[in-house]
Amino acid sequence: MRKILPLLLLITIGCSTTKMSWKNKTYSTMATSAVLGGAAGAALAPEGDSKSAHGMLWGAVASSIAAVTMIALMDNKDSYQEKERKRVEELLNKDKFSPKPLMQMGKNLFESPIPEEMQNVISPGQWKKYKVDVWEQDQSNPNVWFHKDLMFEIIPPQIK
């Protein structure tokens, strides 16, 4: 008995390391565990008891344990998908935070100078025009995307 269980465990775990979907891995692990548990139960049935009953009991228990184990492992899949979604989102949004090439810049919007007596009191505002290349998804319709190619930054005048 002690020699058989590690062998059954190794064979059962082997199904979870292949490149199948989680659903198929769970099914194949359950089937393998049921067959191996049934064979072990039939082989280890006490004298006078039904071998088929012990085989079915051990197979059902092994299959249930395999299913619970695979479900516990699948919880990590959700966190992996969430991390992958955030990584893709960061790649799409990296243009929003990267330095943008400055195209034009100015000190005032109306092309009139600040009077000399006010220059010590008022700090003039500015405007800056940047070239950007950003795609954004519409909030109300996920099938609509907007392309933005210009960004204006306006710095209002301030009292010193």
Q: Return d(Cα 150, Cα 103) in angstroms, integer.
A: 9
Determine the pLDDT at residue 104: 65
The closest of 24, 34, 103 to 42, measured between CA atoms, is: 34
3-state class (DSSP) for residue 33: helix
Task: Give 49's DSSP letter.
Answer: S
Determine the pLDDT at residue 5: 61
Determine the pLDDT at residue 61: 92
Task: Give 124's DSSP letter.
Answer: P
Lookup: tokens for 150: 């210009």
Q: Which amino acid is at 27?
A: Y
| pTM, 2 dp | 0.40
Determine the pLDDT at residue 60: 92
Determine the pLDDT at residue 28: 79
The total number of residues written for the chain in this structure: 160
Determine the pLDDT at residue 87: 78
Q: Which amino acid is at 48?
A: G
Determine the pLDDT at residue 2: 61
Lookup: tokens for 21: 């979907």
**Within 10 Å of residue 8's Cβ, how many Cβ atoms?**
17
Q: Could you state, in chain order, the average pLDDT of each consecutive group of 10 residues for the chain (160 residues)?
A: 62 59 78 86 88 90 87 69 77 64 64 71 80 86 87 82
Q: Return d(Cα 72, Cα 49) in angstroms, integer.
A: 35
Lookup: tokens for 30: 């359950």
Determine the pLDDT at residue 73: 75
Alpha helices in 98-121 (DSSP H): none
* Contact of 8 with 39, CB cutoff 8 Å: no
